[in-house]
Chain A
Amino acid sequence: MALLAYTVRRLLMLIPVLLGMSLIVFAIIHAIPGDPALTILGEKASPQALADLREQLGLNNPWYTQYFHYLANLLKGDLGVSLHSKAPITVEMGPYLAATFELTLVSMLFAVFIGVNAGIISAWKQNSWFDYICMLIALIGVSMPVFWLGLMEQWVFAQELKWLPSIGRDNPRDPVAEITHFYIIDTILAGRWDHFRDVVEHLILPGVALGTIPMAIIARITRSSMLEVMRSDYIRTARAKGLGQFFVVYKHALKNALIPVLTIVGVQVGLLIGGAVLTETIFGWPGVGRYIYTAIGNRDYPVIQSGILIIATIFVLINLVVDLLYAYVDPRIKYR
């Protein structure tokens, strides 16, 4: 019951945050110094085109009228129209979102699987060569700029060794038939195992690039959290009972050690979606990040606004889910 009340309270607290976010995103066009229409269309634009754009963006009204209009449209699920493609952004966004989710999910699985296990073994075999190498890799990993790692991967594994494709989600000459826009699911639904293999190969390089930083962070947190738990009384008791080392580590210690890891995983998922702008740009991945990047080049401000708003909303929702999970997993937490 307390958990339910806590959930409801957290959902209510979300409302002012979401409103504030919409205000900031709204300001992206309206805070442009000078005439936004002139900035968007450039110096050579005809007065007629400028007037039309001002009309389309509603720039002739006072800002609060514009904001409430913008908010009303958002609540209806209308994100506006792309200035570049003239298509409704809500429609355009779908496939891009799916592409970003697929990439994020793969890199997070990679990061959690490798990171948690490396952290556990490092803590278990503390001060061994394995521990030192893992922590060295983790240290370099947290300092690695994701865009440089991506470029290096492309160079070594795609261009020099030619093991893996460097760009895109599938083979452009033999594209995947889109059903759900999640290509892994689509290829399975279509029973095209050749396509499935192709899609997986395309996911490896960007997935690893995007997953490296969270992997390093997760490994470090898991290690220190495990070390702390391993010193506790109940672990000593478990050992004293004569339980096997593996059983103590993976069954008893891991359960409690994973609680801080869970928070980090949540934060990292959000950061990954943000970091996707860079990874997607490098790997030509048709996701929301690249959608925003292209929009910046085209001065397509409605798309920039909507892209950022969508990603931030997802970020907030993920954080909420993590907080709720945290309260659920750890009964020691008080719901405040």
Chain B
Amino acid sequence: MAETHVQTVPVKRMDEPISSPWRDALRILRKNKMAIIGFCIILFFVLLAILAPVITPYEYDKGELVDKNLPPSAEHWFGTDYNGRDVFTRVIYGAQISLRVGLFAVIGSVVAGTFLGLLAGYYGRWIDTLISRLFDIMLAFPSILLAIAIVAILGPSLENALLAIAIVNVPTYGRLVRSRVLSLKEEEYVMAAKAIGSKHSHIIIQHILPNSLAPIIVTGTLGIATAIIEAAALGFLGLGAQPPQPEWGLMLSDSRQYIQKAPWTVIFPGLSIMLTVLGFNLIGDGLRDALDPRMKN
């Protein structure tokens, strides 16, 4: 995008905090309106998820059949579903599930991907060939299909869906870390560390990991958005969360046959997926602009 960065060199007072790349990034991020909006959306959903038992008097898995498919009202903000369950209650308990799945799936992929990427990039040779070929093969499958294959092996459940999503996204982070390591290995300070006889573990922890962090954070934030959509897709196909869990994708497939009679049962869970995904996408885009201007596009 068309921003020109004017470099100014301010005169520093001694007591001024030392500027660090992270502090600079935070400053840029705070000026990014879209990122702030994204952050607010996610904060809103996190609060809803945490405070769910306080906010709503209803239970997500119990309803009165006499109250089925009621339109939105003061008692039932988002109406009720075909079982008479309060849709608002189910949506906010669903936020717990989706946020947790998104976060933990990404953490799993990042940890495994970083480990494999470091191994491949740092040690090279046959380890690199082996790991890189494995990534190539995994990336040869459209991710949702590979996730379906893994769930087909393990059996459908929310935990297995989370595991499948984590596994499927490992190559994304693995490749990222590997390519960072390869370029960092050529940097003078890493060469210098090697020359003075630093241990491999020291070089990796002190030099390589901190310098790989920014792209991992950016990709990871955008990855949470993808993981939430993938979890909802698996739920929708009946391969993720199982009834009566209030998972958003499962709620959509559960209620789709009542869409004409009770459209609110389909509108609100879908809208929630879209908003959370949008929120993480906005934060991710903002972080990318703040942390690494070269990664734009």
Contact = CB atoms under 8 A, between A and B. Distances in A.
Interface of A: 16-17, 20-21, 24-25, 27-28, 31-33, 126, 139-140, 142-148, 151-152, 154-155, 159-160, 221, 224-225, 227, 231, 260, 270-271, 273-275, 277-278, 281-282, 292-293, 296-297, 301, 304, 308, 311-312, 315-316
A224 B296 CA distance: 9
Contacts of A273: 142
Contacts of A142: 281
Contacts of B263: 155
B224 to A, nearest CB: 12
B281 A147 contact: no
Contacts of A315: 140-142
B142 A151 contact: no
B47 interface: no
B232 interface: yes
Per DSSP, chain A at the interface is helix
Interface stretch (B89-97, B102-110, B147-155): B147-155
Given A27-B153, A151-B270, A20 B133 contact: yes
B2 A227 contact: yes
B226 to A, nearest CB: 10
Q: How large is the interface on B (under 10, 10 to 19, 20 to 34, 35 or more residues)?
A: 35 or more
A221 B153 contact: no
Contacts of A308: 141, 145-146, 148-149
- Which 7 residue pairs spanning A and B have beta carbons closest together? A274-B142, A148-B270, A20-B137, A143-B278, A143-B277, A312-B141, A31-B153
B8 interface: no
A296 B238 CA distance: 10
A145 B260 contact: no
Interface string B241-279: 000000001001100100110010011011001110110
Contact of B136 (A17, A27, A152, A155): A17
A273 B141 CA distance: 10
Contacts of B239: 296
Contacts of B256: 151, 282
Given A140-B274, A225-B297, A315-B142, A281 B237 contact: yes
B46 interface: no
Contacts of B233: 145-147, 278
A273 B142 CA distance: 8
A107 to B, nearest CB: 15
Contact of A28 (B143, B153, B296): B153
Contacts of A151: 252, 256, 259, 266, 270
A144 B133 CA distance: 32
Contacts of B134: 20
Contact of A278 (B2, B236, B267, B269): B236
Contacts of B11: none
Nearest to A147: B236
Contacts of B278: 139-140, 143
Contacts, number: 137
A292 B141 CA distance: 14
B177 interface: no
Nearest to B278: A143
B149 A277 contact: no
B99 interface: no
A10 to B, nearest CB: 12
Contacts of B232: 145, 147
Contacts of B273: 145, 148
Interface string B62-93: 00000000000000000000000000000000
Nearest to B276: A143
Nearest to A304: B152
B18 interface: no
Contacts of A139: 278, 281-282
A274 B137 contact: no
B270 A316 contact: no
B157 to A, nearest CB: 13
A238 to B, nearest CB: 19
Given A154-B259, A221-B297, A308-B148, A145 B274 contact: yes
B36 interface: no
A273 B256 CA distance: 23
A287 B104 CA distance: 33
B297 A312 contact: no
A145 B282 CA distance: 16
A271 B140 CA distance: 11
Nearest to B147: A274
Given A148-B270, A296-B239, 9 more contacts: A17-B133, A25-B149, A143-B281, A159-B260, A160-B260, A227-B2, A308-B146, A312-B142, A316-B140
Contacts of A278: 144, 233, 236-237
